């Protein structure tokens, strides 16, 4: 083989290698962006074995200490489960919780996706508003916010009927009022640190306003 011919062979070979590499390169992100389909049946088995005692087998928790998970956006549920875990190098979770943090730590990410898909597929049994005296105040904050204190309308992100907006904004309609008020309080006190917008909003609400808007949201559907 003379030098010129060797060069052509070499060039062809490296062109071919580069083309194949880029074809594989192009195929890889497409595969990566199509995550494994959630397995609702496996999720249901985890729910029945681990979560049902507190959140109900169908995601309708029996009392306000435990949030309802039925019908919630699955991406939001996965985010919360992730936020309950301590993710090194951080030394605390973004949403530390004595009960949920160890439970979340025991779940693999596929378990989280599956159990979230299961609870998202269940039907919410909505709570009712309980406090007629504060409905008007709650509705005012929900629909219009509190302009002079820079509190935006809750409806802007959580929807006029409290259904939320997938994938970022959770549904609040029909959730227990006590749970919603507790979470607003947790955002305000810094016990829950996984949402800068919610921490800011809650820091501008009084206790009475939190209770009123939580009660109004519980009655939405």
Which of 40, 127, 180, 220 forms a contact with ligand HEC (CB under 6 A)? 180
Task: State the binding string over 94-133 for ligand HEC (x if CB under 6 A, else -).
Answer: -x-x-xx--x---x-------x------------------
Applying CB under 6 A, the span of 1-9, 16-24, 123-131, 147-155 interacting with ligand HEC comes to 147-155
- Total count of residues recorded for the chain: 221
Rounded distance, CA 194 to CA 95, Å? 6
Q: Are 169 and 158 in contact (CB under 8 A)?
A: yes
Give yes or no for residue 53 binding ligand HEC (CB under 6 A): yes
Which residues, at least 6 apart from 90, have a Cβ–Cβ distance to it below 8 Å? Answer: none
- Closest CB to ligand HEC among residues 41, 65: 65
Which residues within the stretch 184-213 sit at the binding site for ligand HEC (CB under 6 A)?
A: 184, 194-195, 197-198, 201, 213
The least distance separating ligand HEC from the CB of residue 88, rounded to whole angstroms, comes to 20
Q: Cβ neighbours of residue 154 under 8 Å, at least 6 residues apart? A: 141, 142, 145, 172, 213, 217
Q: How many CB atoms lie within 10 A of CB 15?
A: 10
From residue 173, alpha-carbon distances to 75, 130, 190 in Å are 17, 14, 24
Do residues 184 and 210 lie in contact, with contact meaning Cβ atoms separated by under 8 Å?
Answer: yes
Which residues would be at the binding site for ligand HEC (CB under 6 A)?
46, 50-51, 53-55, 65-67, 69, 77, 79-81, 95, 97, 99-100, 103, 107, 115, 141, 151-152, 154, 156-158, 168-170, 172, 180, 182-184, 194-195, 197-198, 201, 213
């Amino acid at each position: 083989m003379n030098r010129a011919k060797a060069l052509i062979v070499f060039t062809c070979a490296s062109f071919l290698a580069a083309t194949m590499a880029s074809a594989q390169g192009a195929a890889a992100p497409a595969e990566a962006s199509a995550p494994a389909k959630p397995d609702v049946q496996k999720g249901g088995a985890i729910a029945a074995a681990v979560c049902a005692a507190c959140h109900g087998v169908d995601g309708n928790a029996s009392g306000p200490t435990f949030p309802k998970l039925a019908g919630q956006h699955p991406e939001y549920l996965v985010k919360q489960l992730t936020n309950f875990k301590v993710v090194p190098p951080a030394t605390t979770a973004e949403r530390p919780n004595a009960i949920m943090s160890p439970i979340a730590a025991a779940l693999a990410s596929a378990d989280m996706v599956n159990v979230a898909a299961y609870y998202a597929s269940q039907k919410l049994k909505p709570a009712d508003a309980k406090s007629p005296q504060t409905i008007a105040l709650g509705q005012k904050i929900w629909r219009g916010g509190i302009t002079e204190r820079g509190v935006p309308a809750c409806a802007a992100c959580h929807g006029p009927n409290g259904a939320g907006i997938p994938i970022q904004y959770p549904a609040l309609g029909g959730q227990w009022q006590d749970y919603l008020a507790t979470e607003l309080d947790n955002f305000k006190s810094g016990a829950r640190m996984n949402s800068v917008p919610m921490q800011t909003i809650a820091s501008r609400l009084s206790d009475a306003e939190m209770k009123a808007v939580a009660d109004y949201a519980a009655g939405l559907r």
